[in-house]
């Protein structure tokens, strides 16, 4: 009974602080911008995650009193009043000789975090009531879509409890904030990430008599309401938040961040990039932030000309992967209601899913390219960009057999490289373009191909990806966030706003699933 009371108190305590979450920029106005633009830390995320040594009131009073003094030293001030967050990966040394599976088993403990404690001195971390797994490196918090792919490995490793704890943490976030933020940081409260929560719950419920989809019915519906907020009042050809209503009345979704200022975790980068675009700064920054919500931050996929970051148009695009995930969410809500005996609501969501499926096949199948592509709702035209997002309709079994065959031919001909599948066919400095490859897209592609009987190609992708992961591990003792699959001698992927990270949650999860 005492344990139950403690847990209930923790939930109530967390709930009480949730309503007054301020981001670092809101907490330290003026100081935050000065620190980030002064490049005191090479990575903007460092100060966004910094641990204050005093309350924000004391820090801001000290800053106000000192900032105009001739001898004021900003770096010394920050070092006096803040500590940098710990890098747990740096404390861990791998044993290459023990083999990859031993390494994976040990990493779960390295990447696990205990339930968060509440203190009067607050950081940007949004406290969670149960243990969770983080990706690793600079990613010190739970991440939304990462966690699904991490869970693939957790389930294979028999770590069902931590898997359920993570799902319950996501349910807590939905109940507290109305949605699952990008990660459990206050500066992520303007956006989510690809909606994999329904897929997580289904993964947990599979072959598990202790869990039913109906247990999560309420939070699944709340997440759906977040993605569809305002959709019921939309006029034809209009957009609001994440929803867009097309000329034929089809309701589809886009990525959309509620903010239009530089991202706090990439403040300096966004501040400088906004000077290089012809868009209004607020429109440009919303497109940047919305691409971050997609998880593909960044890719030529989001650029009007397919080449240049300053032409980013994320909010003009309806993404094929997002809408396929929304289809899965609608189907899962229907099934959860069926289990709960609410037949009317189950039928309602099945009808929504059927409408979305028809719209996906109409707007995302590009008959000119024989491939699934994104759709520009403003231009009323299909994107010309080839990306692995095309495999999502195969993963969730939406594609026709003919479409799946054509996609598989293109994947084998152009995407397949020495170490796996490139994310796009464009080679740029962006990390979600060629020559880079990422574990989640390998898994979606492999399983999507298997769903339609292309086992030989799926096996080829699996073998090349697993062999690359193991080869890099043998050279470095690490598993990486991303890999260069074109150059077999590379020790990891490149590009992007920050150095290559190791750890790494979703790489570990997908690799273990494929090894088993």
Q: Is 389 left (phi over 0), alpha (psi -120 to 50) or beta?
A: alpha
Distances (CA, A) of 199 to 105, 141, 152, 206, 220: 24, 21, 11, 11, 11
Interatomic CA distance for residues 270 and 288, integer angstroms: 8
Interatomic CA distance for residues 138 and 202, integer angstroms: 29
In sequence order, the β-bridge partners of residue 371 are 366
Residues labelled as active-site residues: 297, 481
**Short-list 374, 424, 478, CA closest to 106:** 478
Interatomic CA distance for residues 461 and 421, integer angstroms: 7
Interatomic CA distance for residues 506 and 134, integer angstroms: 9
Interatomic CA distance for residues 120 and 410, integer angstroms: 56
How big, in percent rounded to 5, are the helix, strand and coil portions of the chain? Answer: 55, 10, 35
Tokens of 129: 């009531």
Q: Cβ neighbours of residue 111 under 8 Å, at least 6 residues apart? A: 88, 133, 134, 135, 136, 503, 505, 508
Tell me 86's DSSP state.
P
Neighbours of 199 (CB within 10 A): 20
Alpha helices in 88-207 (DSSP H): 100-111, 144-156, 160-177, 197-205
Distances (CA, A) of 85 to 49, 62, 414: 6, 22, 42
């Amino acid at each position: 009974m005492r344990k139950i009371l403690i847990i209930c108190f923790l939930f109530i305590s967390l709930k009480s602080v949730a309503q007054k979450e301020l981001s670092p920029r809101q907490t330290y106005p003026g100081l935050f911008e000065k620190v980030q633009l002064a490049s005191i830390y090479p990575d903007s995320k460092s100060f966004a995650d910094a641990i204050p040594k005093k309350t924000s009131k004391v820090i801001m009073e000290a800053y106000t009193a000192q900032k105009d003094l001739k001898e004021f030293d900003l770096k010394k001030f920050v070092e006096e009043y803040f500590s940098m967050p710990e890098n747990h990966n740096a404390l861990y040394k791998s044993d290459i000789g023990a083999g990859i599976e031993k390494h994976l088993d040990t990493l779960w403990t390295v990447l696990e975090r205990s339930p968060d404690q509440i203190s009067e001195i607050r950081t940007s971390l949004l406290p969670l009531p149960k243990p969770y797994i983080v990706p690793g490196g600079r990613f010190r918090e739970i991440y939304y879509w990462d966690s699904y792919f991490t869970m693939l490995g957790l389930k294979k490793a028999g770590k069902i409890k931590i898997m359920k704890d993570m799902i319950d943490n996501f349910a807590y976030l939905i109940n507290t904030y109305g949605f699952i933020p990008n990660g459990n940081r206050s500066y992520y409260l303007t956006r989510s990430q690809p909606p994999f929560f329904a897929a997580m719950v289904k993964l947990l419920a599979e072959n598990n008599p202790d869990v039913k989809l109906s247990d999560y019915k309420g939070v699944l519906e709340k997440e759906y309401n977040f993605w569809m907020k305002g959709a019921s009042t939309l006029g034809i050809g209009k957009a609001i938040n994440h929803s867009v209503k097309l000329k034929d009345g089809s309701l589809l979704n886009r990525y959309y961040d509620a903010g239009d200022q530089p991202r706090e975790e990439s403040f300096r980068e966004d501040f400088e990039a906004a000077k290089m675009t012809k868009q209004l700064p607020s429109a440009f920054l919303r497109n940047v932030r919305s691409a971050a919500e997609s998880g593909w931050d960044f890719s030529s996929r989001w650029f009007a000309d397919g080449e240049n970051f300053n032409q980013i148009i994320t909010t003009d695009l309806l993404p094929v992967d997002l809408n396929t995930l929304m289809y899965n969410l609608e189907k899962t809500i229907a099934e959860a209601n069926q289990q709960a005996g609410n037949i009317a609501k189950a039928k309602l969501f099945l009808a929504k899913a059927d409408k979305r499926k028809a719209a996906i096949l109409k707007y995302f199948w590009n008959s000119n390219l024989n491939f699934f592509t994104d759709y520009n709702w403003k231009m009323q035209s299909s994107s010309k960009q080839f990306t692995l997002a095309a495999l999502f309709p195969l993963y969730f079994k939406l594609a026709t057999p003919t479409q799946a065959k054509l996609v598989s031919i293109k994947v084998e001909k152009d995407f397949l490289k020495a170490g796996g599948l490139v994310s796009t066919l464009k080679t740029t400095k962006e990390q979600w373009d060629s020559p880079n490859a990422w574990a989640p897209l390998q898994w979606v592609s492999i399983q999507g191909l298997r769903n339609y009987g292309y086992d030989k190609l799926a096996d080829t992708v699996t073998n090349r990806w697993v062999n690359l992961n193991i080869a890099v591990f043998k050279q470095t003792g690490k598993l990486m966030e991303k890999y260069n699959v074109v150059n077999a001698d590379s020790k990891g992927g490149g590009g992007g706003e920050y150095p290559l990270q190791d750890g790494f949650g979703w790489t570990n999860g997908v690799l273990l699933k494929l090894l088993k």
